[in-house]
Amino acid sequence: MRHDKMMIELYCTLDRTKHIPVSVSFDAVLARWSVRIMMHLLRRDRLKQFLTHHLRLHCGNRELCFVREGDVLLAEVSDMPIIDPCSVMLRHAPMICVRVQDGQLMHDLADYHRLSVMELRMLGQYPHAHVPYSRTGAIWERVHSYLRTDLHTHLSSQISSEGLLEVASMHDALYPVELLERHGITTEGLTRHAMRSTFFAPARSEKLRCEQEDCEVEGIYVRELKEHHPQAWTRFIEALHIPVDEVHTFDMLERQVYRMRNPLTKNPALVRSTLLRVAQEYRQQGIDYAELAVTAAFDTAWLRAATEAILEAEECTGVQLRLLAAIPRSLPPVEMLHQLALVKYIAQHPYVVGVDFLGYEANKTQNFAWALNHVARFAAQQARGIATDSTGWDFADDFILRVHAGENGKNPDNVSEVLDIAFRHGIRVRVGHAAYGHERDYQGIARIMGQRNQLIVEFNPDSNMAMNNIDTAEQLPITAWAQAGIPIVIASDGAGIYQTDAQQLLAAGMYAGLEDAHLEHILATEQKHCARQQALFARKQQAFITHYAHKDAFFSTLEQQTRHLKRYDAMQRLAHKRPLLIAGASGSSWSRISVNHQKEITRAIHQLVHSLDPDKIYFALGRIKHEGIGRIVDDAISEYLTYHPNSRPFDVVGMISPHQNMPTLATHLNHIVVLHGELMSVPTHMTEKLALHHGSALYIGGSAFTRDFIKRSEDLGIPFGVMAEIEGASGEKARVLESQFIFHGAAGMIHQVRTMLGDDVFRV
């Protein structure tokens, strides 16, 4: 019996995510230390083997290897003087150090010595990596001065897996059996109930019924799984995040992890408790302020529930949660335009602080530069307190534009293109990731924008590692940006899915090379941002209450606007103005035009745009190539706005076919008309729309498509003009058409428009 009492034991973990439990015991009779390391929660044998080969037990001047028995590592050493501490070392770096003090076992080392999730992933994937990273130097004392914000995260990936399942249990949520079984999670003996499916686009092609739209499927109560199948419960938790020793691709994240979260994160009954839980988890990490990007922010019911929960969460935990309305960067243009229209409305709510363009960076920033320009113009107006016509809301807001850019290296210009747009409009912008790009990104305008408090770059080291975008912490250019004096923060990108927290994120930044002065810089950036948002919130809240005496008024208008967008007909809406289609040379047909003619065309279009009245006429354009007629019209409108900053902008209607995959559109586009039918039917459908709305057309150069446009315009009796002597379609047709359809040079172009549309469409 005496022997038992002399045995003291301590439980801890080798890592900070608590996936490698360790028990350390000291037997006072035998003066024996024994250490057991449990590896059953690890996924990769590679990591288990690595630990077996590289872990040592140190005691006094003794060093021992661990012996592996299945998933357990064991080391024991006897006859040790009681004053000698016992340490677990990994490649000569201390992870755990325990000593006997007053009959108890005590830890000697700070938390940051244990392995972080970034190191676990590196070892699971690349056992030859130089891990653990060094923890020497005074800077490590600072890792306790936690990060205070999480400016880059997503609600559906932020909540911890356990948190999500607890919320689901609490609310008696059902979960589809089909998904659990596909994942090898048993539901044996549990009663099945009918439930509705939850659509999940990324796995649509796999045709699971529970992921299609509006199907009835079988589900079980999440709560019952916990009660009856504890092992299945553990497996379920593990299925909701990326394992600590694994690296995923974007596809794996979507089709393995997000799909398992989907039935819960999209369940409207769980919104309130999910947000409360997120706030509690932030409280535990020491985070005071977080901005959650959410695609559901456009849904009236969701937004109503979320804003109520955010208020409650702040009252309970003191944590301030704010929302960024999120738009996928590859959304088809029409849908994107609808969401942009709604963003302008929901941004009135004090809890909505801006917009986020997110998703897998398969496309270039340029592909949706029109949308960024669109929202940037709005942000610039907001900053100046200019009312948006429909609502009368004229509160001078400070609206955040955040873009995911440089997360992977596929399109290295993505970061600089975002910076260019924001700089041009003089608005604040946040860049999420910036793991890839050019040196000039942090040497150029970023410095100026940083000095003006218009830029914050958000680094997400643990997400980048988990998603196969970097292989080591040093690969992240975070110190280069910090050194350039540009405001930066470190963020989670979804702490639940990546299994990280504020302290591990800061450590990852230090592995990447951040030094003491950089940490000061980060903390100062956070403080400045929070102070700014708080001041803004107080004023915005007041304005909101004044404008919407009942908050129901805000939500019912949002619902109306959403319904209205579905029936929205741009050309009908613009019926009080006359459309002018300008089409012709683009891409290769533009390069066939002589330089002199190109200059003449450019001069003509600029003169025309400057002389027209935006209240009387609008432009119709197709997709835009890098060079050509559409680009010149777009540039001329930009120039017009530079010279007439207080003028009402021109309306620009993009006429696009759904067959044009990710088309580049005019930066001034503010309406879209979708042309149905095949790509070859574009000239027919476009001219039919034009005829219906009493439009006119100018054709300049071009090839086969433009020839068809001209022919169809003639058939339908649309007033039009072709520019003579220009290489391509317009020059060819000018040789055979009647003179009323032909014009020469800049003066001829203006005269042609006057003949077609009358003097009325010109500025006085």
From 487-495, 578-586, 618-626, 653-661, span contacting Zn ion (CB under 5 A): 487-495
Minimum distance between the CB of residue 399 and Zn ion, rounded to whole angstroms? 19
Minimum distance between the CB of residue 465 and Zn ion, rounded to whole angstroms? 14
The residue among 362, 360, 118 whose CA lies nearest residue 247 is 118
**Closer Cβ to Zn ion, 397 or 493, answer by number:** 493
Q: Which two tokens stand for residue 522?
A: 């980060």
Q: How far apart are CA 469 and CA 118, in angstroms?
A: 13
Three-state DSSP state, 58: strand
Residue 297: φ, ψ to 5°: -60, -15
From 377-385, 491-499, 551-559, 597-605, span contacting Zn ion (CB under 5 A): 491-499
The residue among 264, 289, 46 whose CA lies nearest residue 162 is 264
**Closer Cβ to Zn ion, 253 or 757, answer by number:** 253
**Closer Cβ to Zn ion, 493 or 526, answer by number:** 493
Q: Which residues contact 101 (CB under 8 A, 6 or more apart)?
A: none
The residue among 672, 667, 685, 720 whose CA lies nearest residue 573 is 672
Helix (H) or strand (E) holding 52: helix 45-54
**Closer Cβ to Zn ion, 291 or 493, answer by number:** 493
From 107-115, 493-501, 505-513, 560-568, span contacting Zn ion (CB under 5 A): 493-501
The DSSP string of 384-423 is HTPPPTTT--------EEEEEESSSSSSTTHHHHHHHHHH
The DSSP string of 83-142 is TS-EEEEETTEEEEEEEEETTEEEE-S-GGGSBPHHHHHHHHH-TTS--SPP--SGGGGG
Residues in the chain, overall count: 764
Residue 631: φ, ψ to 5°: -65, -40
Minimum distance between the CB of residue 493 and Zn ion, rounded to whole angstroms? 4
**Closer Cβ to Zn ion, 257 or 734, answer by number:** 257
**Closer Cβ to Zn ion, 12 or 419, answer by number:** 419
**Closer Cβ to Zn ion, 492 or 687, answer by number:** 492
Beta bridge partners of 293: 154, 324
| Radius of gyration for the alpha carbons in the chain, expressed in angstroms and rounded | 31
Minimum distance between the CB of residue 632 and Zn ion, rounded to whole angstroms? 36
Minimum distance between the CB of residue 358 and Zn ion, rounded to whole angstroms? 6
**Closer Cβ to Zn ion, 259 or 668, answer by number:** 259
Minimum distance between the CB of residue 479 and Zn ion, rounded to whole angstroms? 21
Minimum distance between the CB of residue 594 and Zn ion, rounded to whole angstroms? 48
List the end-to-end C-alpha distance of the chain, in Å, as a whole number: 105
Q: How far apart are CA 6 and CA 28, in angstroms?
A: 5
The closest residue (CB) to Zn ion is 493
Residue entry with tokens 């979960």: 175
**Closer Cβ to Zn ion, 124 or 432, answer by number:** 432
Q: Which residues contact 580 (CB under 8 A, 6 or more apart)?
A: 612, 617, 618, 619, 620, 695, 696, 697, 698, 753, 757
Minimum distance between the CB of residue 463 and Zn ion, rounded to whole angstroms? 7
C-alpha torsion 667→670→673→674, nearest 10: 60
Minimum distance between the CB of residue 238 and Zn ion, rounded to whole angstroms? 22
Three-state DSSP state, 495: helix
The residue type at 219:
G
Q: How far apart are CA 638 and CA 667, in angstroms?
A: 9
Residue 493 touches Zn ion, criterion: CB under 5 A: yes
Q: Spell out, one character per residue from 445 to 484, where the chain touches Zn ion: x when CB under 5 A holds, - when not.
A: ----------------------------------------
- Between helix 333-346 and helix 369-384 the angle, nearest 10°, is 10
Minimum distance between the CB of residue 157 and Zn ion, rounded to whole angstroms? 8
**Closer Cβ to Zn ion, 157 or 657, answer by number:** 157
Minimum distance between the CB of residue 361 and Zn ion, rounded to whole angstroms? 10
Minimum distance between the CB of residue 293 and Zn ion, rounded to whole angstroms? 7
From 383-391, 490-498, 570-578, 733-741, span contacting Zn ion (CB under 5 A): 490-498
Minimum distance between the CB of residue 491 and Zn ion, rounded to whole angstroms? 8
Q: Which residues contact 15 (CB under 8 A, 6 or more apart)?
A: 114, 115, 116, 117, 119, 120, 244
Q: How far apart are CA 518 and CA 482, in angstroms?
A: 6
Site size for Zn ion, by CB under 5 A? 1
Q: Is the CB of residue 429 less than 8 Å from the CB of residue 449?
A: yes
Minimum distance between the CB of residue 287 and Zn ion, rounded to whole angstroms? 16
Q: How far apart are CA 762 and CA 611, in angstroms?
A: 6
Minimum distance between the CB of residue 42 and Zn ion, rounded to whole angstroms? 27
**Closer Cβ to Zn ion, 150 or 600, answer by number:** 150
Half-sphere exposure of 539 (CA within 13 A, CB side): 12
**Closer Cβ to Zn ion, 467 or 761, answer by number:** 467
**Closer Cβ to Zn ion, 487 or 494, answer by number:** 494
Task: Report residue 224 CA to chain centroid gap.
Answer: 35
The residue among 341, 386, 393 whose CA lies nearest residue 671 is 341
Residue 356 touches Zn ion, criterion: CB under 5 A: no
Task: Report residue 658 CA to chain centroid gap.
Answer: 24
Q: Is the CB of residue 162 less than 8 Å from the CB of residue 237?
A: yes
Strand-strand pairing, 400-405 and 352-358: parallel
CB atoms within 10 A of CB 661: 9
**Closer Cβ to Zn ion, 64 or 252, answer by number:** 252
**Closer Cβ to Zn ion, 238 or 493, answer by number:** 493
**Closer Cβ to Zn ion, 299 or 493, answer by number:** 493
**Closer Cβ to Zn ion, 263 or 432, answer by number:** 432
Minimum distance between the CB of residue 226 and Zn ion, rounded to whole angstroms? 30
Minimum distance between the CB of residue 218 and Zn ion, rounded to whole angstroms? 34
Q: How far apart are CA 75 and CA 68, in angstroms?
A: 9
Q: Spell out, one character per residue from 68 to 107, where the chain touches Zn ion: x when CB under 5 A holds, - when not.
A: ----------------------------------------
Minimum distance between the CB of residue 327 and Zn ion, rounded to whole angstroms? 13
- Which residues of this protein are in contact with Zn ion, per CB under 5 A? 493
